[in-house]
């Protein structure tokens, strides 16, 4: 089965630093997502991305966050100035190419630790 | 706003027995989808089963089946012949069928322990 690939699997950073989390969605998918999961808590929606623009974002996705699909294959999440509370597992997901009703494929996640 | 509630933080089952995990949801939409995802210790999110709200027949996938009660807004997962590999956190999730974004809303999760 095709896979969504996320790198790195673990990222440690100092508070206030910028981080970029990278994802390679499945090649013919058109809908892309970032979710996050604080340890022991539920998975929370951050942002959805379609046709090179954000289609929906949650309250968590404030001005410190941005997403980009720079080259048609990678899909990145940038946190400009990390806070302690940004420590979480970040999941990339993709679906498509037909509709938003298709199966959602998740990557293995990037564990972000902010010190 | 749509919400998903899993009222059982933890459940346990004896190997080879059957266990049912509960999920309720709240929505005013008529076209939606419901999912159960499994998250083992590796924290990978694995789709277990999916149910379209317009279908009356309950979805089944091998040992996994659901009891979908649309009027009661209930969506429980039954695992038959439980195996040690079923031990994981299970998340119930909801998605709007007509959504132009396809986002999913997750419940809080239920940790399932399988005893040998």
The per-residue pLDDT for range B25-54, each reduced to its tens digit, is: 999 888 899 999 999 988 888 999 999 998
Mutation site, B10, B42, B101, interface A, largest A CB count within 10 A: B101
B88-96 and B110-115 beta bridge pairing: antiparallel
At B31 the pLDDT is 86
Residue B97 pLDDT more than 80? no
Put residue B108 in one of left, alpha, beta given phi > 0 → left and psi -120 to 50 → alpha.
Answer: alpha
A110-114 and A10-13 beta bridge pairing: parallel
In whole angstroms, give the CA distance from residue B108 to residue B91. 7
Residue B61 pLDDT more than 70? yes
Mean of per-residue pLDDT scores for chain A = 92
Q: Which of B22, B15, B17, B37 is nearest to B72 (CA)?
A: B22
For a pLDDT cut of 70, what percent of chain A falls above it? 97
Distance from CA of A65 to the nearest CA of B (A): 18
Residue A33 pLDDT more than 80? yes
Contact at 8 Å (CB) between B109 and B4?
Answer: no
CB pairs under 8 A between A and B: 59
Residues of chain B found within 8 Å of residue A48, distances taken between Cβ atoms: 101-103
Average pLDDT over residues A43-66: 94
Residue A100 pLDDT more than 70? no
Contact at 8 Å (CB) between B11 and B113?
Answer: yes
At B26 the pLDDT is 94
In whole angstroms, give the CA distance from residue A86 to residue A57. 16
Distance from CA of B83 to the nearest CA of A (A): 23
Which of A31, A42, A55 is closest, CB to CB, to B106? A42
| Inter-chain CB proximity A106 and B95 less than 8 Å | no
Inform me whether the C-beta atom of residue B101 falls under 8 Å from chain A C-beta atoms: yes
In whole angstroms, give the CA distance from residue B6 to residue B24. 7
Residue A40 pLDDT more than 90? no
Strand partners, B60: B65
DSSP states along B58-105: PPEETTEEEEEETTTTEEEEEE-S--GGG-EEEEEEEEETT-SS--EE
pLDDT band, residue B56 (cuts 50/70/90): confident
């Amino acid at each position: 089965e095709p896979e969504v690939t996320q790198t790195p699997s673990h990222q440690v950073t100092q508070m206030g630093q910028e981080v970029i989390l990278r994802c390679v969605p499945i090649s013919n998918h058109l809908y892309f997502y970032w979710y996050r999961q604080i340890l022991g808590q539920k998975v929370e929606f951050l942002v959805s991305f379609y046709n090179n623009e954000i289609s929906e974002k949650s309250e968590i996705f404030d001005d410190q966050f941005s997403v980009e699909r720079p080259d048609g294959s990678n899909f990145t999440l940038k946190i400009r100035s990390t806070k302690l509370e940004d420590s979480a597992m970040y999941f990339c997901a993709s679906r498509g190419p037909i509709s938003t009703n298709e199966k959602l494929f998740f990557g293995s996640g990037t564990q972000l630790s902010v010190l | 706003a749509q919400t998903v509630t899993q009222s059982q933080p933890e459940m346990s089952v004896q190997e080879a027995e059957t266990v049912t995990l509960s999920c309720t949801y709240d929505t005013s939409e008529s076209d939606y989808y419901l999912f159960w995802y499994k998250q083992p210790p590796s924290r990978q999110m694995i789709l277990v089963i999916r149910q379209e709200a317009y279908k009356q027949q309950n979805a089944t996938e091998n040992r996994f089946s659901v009891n979908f009660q649309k009027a009661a807004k209930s969506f429980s997962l039954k695992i038959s012949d439980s195996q040690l590999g079923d031990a994981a956190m299970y998340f119930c999730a909801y998605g709007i069928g007509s959504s132009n974004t396809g986002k999913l809303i997750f419940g809080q999760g239920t940790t399932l322990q399988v005893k040998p």
